Every structure is written in C-alpha cells, then in structure tokens.
Amino acid sequence: MIFRHLAWLCLISMGMAGVLRADTVLLVNSDRLSGEIQKLEDKRLYLKTAYAGVIEIDWSMVQGITSDQTLRFSMRDGRAVTGTVQGSGEGLQVSSLPPQAPILPQTVNAISRPEEGENFWSRWDGSVELGYSLTRGNSSISQSSVGANTEYESARLRLQGSVSSLFSKQSGARSASTHAAFTRVDFYLKPHAFAFTQGNLDRDDAQLLRLRTSIGAGLGWQAIRSRRTELSLLGGLTFTDENYRLGEEVHPGPGGSTGEALLGISLERFEWRRLRFIGKSSLYRSVLDGNRIRVVANAGVRVPVIHHVVWTIRLNEQFDSRPLFSVKKHDHGLISSFGLAF
C-alpha cells in the first residue's frame, strides 16, 4: 500500500513538474496555450502539447511567449539573440538582453533551439592566410605576406581583431615592409547603436614609420544589417603616438603624440553567392594640426576553394596629407593569399 501511494505521488509530482516547465503562448485574443515551443519557421510557431501533439500557430496571432528553456531568436536585422524569454506588455524580454530592451514579436524572423555543443568557441569566425611571390632576372624581388583575422559576437558585444604583415625585399633598395595589428570591441546599446573602443599598431618602412600606436573610442550605427550584408558608420576620438626611424638620409622631424578625430565606415560583410566582400575605411584629422589628414582603407574578397581553404585578394591604401619626411603621400598595395577559414 505504501509503495502504491509513493508511485502515485511520483506520477503526480512528474505531472506537476511538466506543467511548471511548460511554455506559454499568449494569443492576441487573450487565449493561452501551454506546451513546449519547438520552433518558429515560415511565420508558423510549432508548439508541442500533451493534448493535441504538435500544433501550428500563425505567428501574427501571437502576442507574447514565456519559456524557461533556452531559445535562439533570429531577428530580421540579422542579429541572433539567445536566452530564456518572458512575455510583457512591451514585448519579449530575453534573458541575455538588458531589461529596457525588449524585442517585438514582429521583428523576430525565426526561433530555434541552440545546436547541441554550441558554446563560447562556436561563436568565433575568422581565417589565417599566407602568400608569397618571387621575381628574378633584371630585378630581384621577394614578397611574402601573413595575415589572420577573427571575430566573436554575442547578444551584447562584438570583438574584432586582425594582424597582417607584408615582407618585401629588393636588392639595392630600401625595405618596403608593412605590419599592422587592429582590434575593436563593440558594446550594443540598442539594436543598431553601439559604443566602441579600438586600438591600432602600425609599422611602415617605406614611410620610415617605426611604430604608430592609436587608442580610441566613440559611437557607431549599423546602417545596414541583414543576413548577407552588414555596414556600420563610426565616429569618435583617438590618441595617437608616432615614432619614426631616423637615418643618414633624413633629418629629425616632428613626431610624438597627438589627438585625432575619427570618421569611419566598416563593411563587416557583403555576401554574394559564394563570395564574401569586406572593407574598412577610416579618416583621421589631427586635432593639433588641422591641415593633416590620414586615411587608412582596405578592401578584400574571399573566394572559397575547397572545404575550409579560401583564396583572398586584399587592396590596402594609406594616405597622409602631410608626411613628416620626403616620402610619398600614398602607400598602397595588392595582396593575394591562400588560407584556412574557420
């Protein structure tokens, strides 16, 4: 008898637990449906119920949902938000978003369960690339390039980083090697607005630049954000310190530290068929010397070859309206390389 009561108690407890864990869908006519949310696809919400199996609900009839399970929300602007959700009068409150930033049901394009094994590392994207060219005959020139870039994005921030080096050697000529490192962190304030901080390290032998260090911050706006295209506008201030290499052919010139106003445009991605285009352009205007303007721009296209192997072509341009020494204002180049994307 005791075991029978215990068995009934267990069954009742399991049933109560199932009810407590059930998701809730609130319809625009105030009806409430309980079950387990499966997915939102093609404007149809699939809800698994204990009394009618899986039912389909027109998403336009849904006013709000509540779920303790972790769900992935794919937004129409291209963002992906993951977390539990609570319905409110202002919209859907996802646990990974600030309380003052609910999302509206009509801005949700799809709902799914996060893939098994999705973790911190699965949010990273990037590539490692190598290139080499050799010329012999009337001239002896060798060039090699190394580059790596990576990106991490969550619901609240995005981290971007890249390093690139071009080693150039020509017999009887000055080295024209260039090296650069870049990092930027975006903190989302609203769906399209973010604050950012960034840092740059640059070396350019052709311009006699030993090291330029830039640290800055500002605000950005995602002018375009979709599944295939993402374009951002940036504005802010940077603190820049420059150190030039002096030799017998040049005389000491001005250098040191200065402040610069920053305006930028960043094409994080533009996908067309199997091609992926990227590009960044930044304009720096000196605060102390208003006549000096620097422009740093690069653009590239990534072509998949086979599996994770990619072929990348990059065009780089650096412009200084008032170079400190008798060097050319423009410094540009074209790099072709093969690499692995992850």
Same domain, 89 and 126: no
Same domain, 32 and 98: yes
Same domain, 78 and 182: no
What type of residue is 257? S
* Confidence check: pLDDT of 81 > 70: yes
Same domain, 7 and 130: no
Q: What average pLDDT does the segment 310-317 reach?
A: 88
Helices (H), ranges, 152-266: none
State the pLDDT at residue 14: 43
Domain encompassing residue 22: 2-118
* Confidence check: pLDDT of 236 > 60: yes
* Confidence check: pLDDT of 229 > 90: no
Q: How far is 274 from 302, CA to CA, in rounded Å? A: 9
* Confidence check: pLDDT of 330 > 60: yes
- Structural domains of the chain, count: 2
Q: Which residue has 């068995």 as its token pair?
A: 7
What is the CB-side half-sphere exposure of residue 301 using CA atoms within 13 A?
7
Give the residue from 93, 118, 143 where a domain finishes: 118
Give the residue from 118, 153, 178 where a domain finishes: 118
Give the residue from 85, 118, 151 where a domain finishes: 118
CATH number at residue 313: 2.40.230.20
Same domain, 88 and 144: no
Burial class from Cβ neighbours inside 10 Å (0-12, 13-18, 19+) for residue 156 reads middle
Q: What phi and psi, each to the nearest 5 degrees, are found at residue 10?
A: -65, -45
Same domain, 178 and 293: yes
Same domain, 168 and 290: yes
Same domain, 254 and 105: no
Same domain, 181 and 57: no
Same domain, 329 and 190: yes
* Confidence check: pLDDT of 131 > 90: no
SS3 62: strand
Same domain, 46 and 144: no
* Confidence check: pLDDT of 252 > 70: no
Same domain, 293 and 231: yes
Q: What phi and psi, each to the nearest 5 degrees, are found at residue 176?
A: -120, 30
